[in-house]
Structure 1
Amino acid sequence: MGDLSGAVEDGHVFYVLTVPGQSSSWVYDVSTGFWHERCGLDSNGNGVQIRPLFWCQAYGKTSAVDRNNGAIYQVTLDAVDDDGTPIKRQRAFPHLLTAGTRGIHRKFMLDMQ
């Protein structure tokens, strides 16, 4: 059995499922009805399960308990790292081409400031 917990971010209610032995966690967005995958990075840059084990909201802030060391961290969408470890952001989506056929894009480059 995996860890079951929940979080609220930017008005979205999430149900988080972390199953031991998997390299990521699965998250259900109650607001949209869609699942997505979340992972953290280890010291070698490999995908691992997300570190938060339990979430709590109090006094206008969201906090989470780190599964690895029990530390309590503030959770924010403005974070640029995960307690010093870079955050991997990857977006995958199906692209519908003309006539309703699907195409796969293996690379996407975004240049932004």
Structure 2
Amino acid sequence: MNTSLTLPATASAVNPTGFDVPLSVIRDIAVGAEDSTAPVACWGSTDLSRLAAQAVWEFAQRTGACSPEESAATVIQDLLTDLMHLCDQEGITSDLFGFRGLVDLADAHYANELEEGV
């Protein structure tokens, strides 16, 4: 992916709460990354966001929740819920280290990346 590219205009400037961001924003970001080859080189926040958008958009298409007017937050919430089911079913998480532990680790990684300017 090319880090010199910017993401399409996001809804954050229009709606700072984020919960009314339409899925079309995710679709537009994901479509912009379709021409990249695998494995994807992630050099910054834009690349990481595009990769995540592709995963969310694929999930939305597979579940039929791909209406551009659908809330991006709702689709992401559904994906997280399904990831919880997967982790529970396959023993990826346990009573000692639950899904919240994965989220806490991801949050720490995200904070580190922000500090590093990623």
Give TM-score scaled by structure 1 length: 0.28
Q: Which has the larger radius of gyration?
A: 1
Which has the higher relative contact order, 1 or 2, with Cα contacts under 8 A spaced 6 or more apart?
2
Give the strand-richer structure, 1 or 2. Answer: 1
| Superposition TM-score, scaled by structure 2 size | 0.27
